[in-house]
Chain A
Amino acid sequence: MISGNRAATRMWQVLGNAVLLLVIFLTVMPYVYMVSASFKPGEELFSIPVQIFPDSLYWGNYDLLFGRTSFVRWFFNSVFIGVSRMVLAVVISLMAGYAFAKFDFRFKNPLFILLLATLTLPIYVLIVPLYSMMVTFGWTDSYIALILPLAAQAIGVFLSRQYLLSIPDEILDSARVDGAGEWGIFWRIIVPLSQPVIAVMAILFFTASWNDYIWPLVVLTEDRMFTVSLGLPTLVGPYSQEYGAVMAGSFLSTVPIMIIFLIMQRRFIEGITQGAVKG
């Protein structure tokens, strides 16, 4: 800290504390409200003034969610799709990133620039023809439509390449001297050394899949194939006002992401914010 004037420094600290506490309060408040609303019966939920802490825990919203909606099925769909897409995306990204980081080959630069160019390409550009492809293949209302097409993300190749550039060539060369094949080197040396970048990609891809909305909205029509994100909003509409159940489902659907995030948060936040520094 700059030590100009002690009193001024102290004042800035008090001000900083106040700002930060306010921001944290405003950030956390909606989550508290969501959880509390999920434990309120209708009449309490629709009464004003809003009580943040309910009088007693009411489980009816959860009963309704599990008993009368397809929430459990949606949840299973989201887990299955999320895990499959994550594993596929991590493996192919790491392989491609390894090729870019540690090999010389023809068209290396043009291919890399191609990836660079599509890094921020919005899905809206290609969503219409991509949907037509799904119809042609008969993949609408299928798991594969949600797993395969969105598995090749340029960002994964970038993160992998960036990370693998820092691994010394000597390690790979000595393995080659010892007679290891390229495939063996990848699985036995590159993969174990890449744990940090694999963690970042895993959480990035799983979260993206879990939270995806527009693609499931386009390719899924059958209730039993819905993901959590697609299903939850269908519970409130002109014919149903089950806000309590929706809040219960929102809360439960946020839990898996929170758990993964809590386990890996340090690594993840570092991985995400480094982009702001290195560009």
Chain B
Amino acid sequence: MQPRVDEAGQGGDRKTAPDGATGKRRWGGRRSTAAPYLFLLPFFAIYSAFLLYPTFSALWLSFQEAVALDTPAFIGLDNYVRLVQDERYLHALRNTTVYALASVFILSPLALAVALAVRSFLVPSANLKSFYRISLFLPFITSFVVIALMFGLIFNKDFGLLNSFFRSIGLPELNWLRSERLAMLSIVLVGIWTYLGVNSLYFLAGLQNIPHELNEAAAIDGANRRKTFLYVTLPLLRPTILFVVVQATIFSYQLFEIPFLLTNGGPSDATLFLSQYLYEVGFSQFDRGYAAAIGYSMALISIVLTIAQLLLYRRYTR
């Protein structure tokens, strides 16, 4: 997104430009009036009421035994102790982590490969190029609900597209969604399908940010394609890799719709994700205190990742 100030703000009074530098000071007094607070007010009113307040209220709730409409009782850290002893929670944590690892170690390298492929692609026309871009982006803007419904049909054991294809090339038909061994693989495949395009566009943006001169200089120095990639491209791509990996991990730990609608966590909890476990505890069993503790355990994961990203990003771009 390039700011268009040059075009739009052309009339921005060139006459006053000379004292532009001092203008900041001159009007400094005016800036400390009520204006900024009034501009902040609508956002922060909604933000405080519906984000900050419930977030802190959940923290308090997570220290209480609060089931359905019973009077809540303070129980300290018991809900968190219960987490590490709860087999279903640990199972959900493991499932979600397996999915997150697949996003990092399968999806992200694949996306980089696609981005490299796109780069060497000879695009015959601008229209075709924009068609490719749109196609790659499409799954990212399609709702998870529609994706789950589409793949529910594709993975259907009896009349799905995938088994129909398998049969036509002589492979055995598989029970993609109802087999304990395959269900998680199916979810991972849907995840790859959903995010491959957008992640390769992220990588493409990162690759285009690397000056051509560096690759050319490496080639002149006698580096081959593989060496150029390993010692020039990859190190310069580190901020983008970091971004993609952290985004993938955070999204993985927040995924809900795909396993919920495609397999409903089954068979026998093989695809139970943390989000669905929280939903069941909070809104079917109405164990509100415990659900809040599960929610905080999920927040912890995303906070740790975000901080790690900020610290590493600073190191890479220094």
Contacts and interface: CB of A to CB of B under 8 A. Distances in A.
Measured as residues with beta carbon below 8 angstroms from the partner, the interface class of chain A is 35 or more
Contacts of A240: none
A204 to B, nearest CB: 10
Given A23-B114, A163-B1, A207 B161 contact: no
Contacts of B313: 279
Secondary structure at the B interface, as helix, strand, loop or mixed, is helix
A279 B244 CA distance: 10
A210 B202 CA distance: 24
A276 B153 CA distance: 34
B296 to A, nearest CB: 6
A163 B3 contact: yes
Interface stretch (A28-36, A55-63, A64-72): A28-36
Given A151-B46, A152-B50, A166 B113 contact: no
Interface in B153-203: 153-154, 158-161, 163-165, 167-168, 193, 196-198, 200-203
B254 A233 contact: no
Interface in B133-149: 133-139, 141-149
B282 interface: yes
Contacts of A265: 130, 133-134, 137
A243 interface: yes
Contacts of B275: 124, 214
B211 interface: no
Nearest to A104: B31
B121 interface: yes
B146 A232 contact: yes
Contacts of B219: 2-4
B240 interface: yes
A174 B13 contact: yes
B295 A127 contact: yes
A7 interface: no
B14 to A, nearest CB: 9
A211 B144 contact: yes
A220 interface: no
A118 B20 CA distance: 36
Contacts of B261: 233
Contact of A2 (B43, B202, B215, B295): B215
Nearest to A133: B54
Interface of B: 1-5, 8-9, 12-13, 16-17, 20, 23-24, 26-28, 30-32, 35-40, 42-44, 46-47, 50-55, 57-58, 61, 113-114, 116-122, 130, 132-139, 141-154, 158-161, 163-165, 167-168, 193, 196-198, 200-206, 209, 215-216, 219, 224-225, 228, 239-240, 242-244, 250, 253-254, 256-257, 261, 274-275, 278-279, 282-283, 288, 291-292, 294-296, 298-299, 302-303, 305-306, 309, 313, 317
Given A157-B43, A171-B9, A276-B243, 11 more contacts: A45-B159, A111-B40, A118-B55, A126-B55, A128-B295, A129-B53, A167-B3, A196-B1, A213-B144, A274-B205, A279-B317
